[in-house]
Amino acid sequence: MPAPDLKLDFTQIRILAGKEFWDRLRNRWVLAVALVFTVLALVIAYFGAAQQGSVGFQSIGLTIASLVSLVIYLIPLIALILGFDAVVGERERGSLELLLTLPLTRAELILGKYAGLAAALGFSTLAGFGAVGVILSPHLNLNGLFHYVGFMASTLLLGLAFLSIAVMLSVFAADRTRASGLAIGAWFFYVLVFDLLLLGALVLSGGQYGGDLFPYLLLLNPADVFRVLNVFSLDEVRSFYGLATVFPEALSHPALLGGVMLGWILAPLAIAIRTFQH
């Protein structure tokens, strides 16, 4: 079988990406998601310690620890909803055949749609959390601002990873109904089920099996990579998670974890392109 043509016309990719982005902007999706992020993040920043009897901004560590829990549930779901019909939706509407008659390769089609969706997701994420950062900036020193910017960057990487998964599922699915089912299943597995399975295996074995392997297994879940990346960013944040006691510090270097997240972005996208070309 001949190798797929890997030549890319970045002009075509940019045009398709621009169309995807402006479509999301016109239907108010980007603005709505940015507003949701802003409101929820502000509520958490100022009322996150209400259970302890205090209201108002406490510290950047407490704020990031609270926001991590929000992001792990919300960002993957939004990314999967955004991208699950990227390809299969075009196929059902009958526009996929029309797109493929244009001077556009299948790889350029996938990359263009992904780039446009990623731009929409990135803009809403950075605008929403960035607005909160501006509001909180009077309470933060340079070190606090640095860690908050790092939190936003890791949040973006998490969203892009799940967007890649969504596009891959969209290529595999036969119709939008099955694509949505796969997307919901992926959210449940990575956000809810994966950690329960690991913890259950450790408990059933009494900790005798898999303890040394446990940290490496966490890297198989982008949500866990995001959690670890932020847990180890501040000493104050570590105290909120028992995860720091089982995860070796040598494996928690931001550059290493960032590389793993980049792998989670590129691998599903490469699978989607290869599958779509055949």
Q: Work out the mean pLDDT of the chain and round it to a whole number.
A: 85
Q: pLDDT, tens digit, for every residue of 63-81?
A: 888 888 889 999 999 999 9
The pLDDT score that the predictor gives to residue 3 is 45
The pLDDT score that the predictor gives to residue 139 is 83
Q: How many CB atoms lie within 10 A of CB 201?
A: 14
Q: What residue type is assigned to position 40 of the chain?
A: L
Rounded to whole angstroms, what are the CA distances from 264 to 95, 102, 194, 214, 269?
A: 29, 30, 16, 19, 9
Asked if the model's pLDDT at residue 132 lies above 50, the reply is yes
Q: Which helix (H) or strand (E) holds 22?
A: helix 10-26
Asked if the model's pLDDT at residue 240 lies above 50, the reply is yes
The pLDDT score that the predictor gives to residue 245 is 57
Tell me which of 31-35, 173-177, 185-189, 273-277 is least confident. 31-35
Better pLDDT: 56 or 40: 40
Rounded to whole angstroms, what are the CA distances from 253 to 34, 63, 65, 233, 247?
A: 30, 22, 18, 9, 11
CA–CA gap between residue 88 and residue 9 (Å, rounded): 23
pTM equals: 0.90
CA–CA gap between residue 147 and residue 67 (Å, rounded): 13
Inter-residue contact 138 to 58 (CB < 8 Å): no
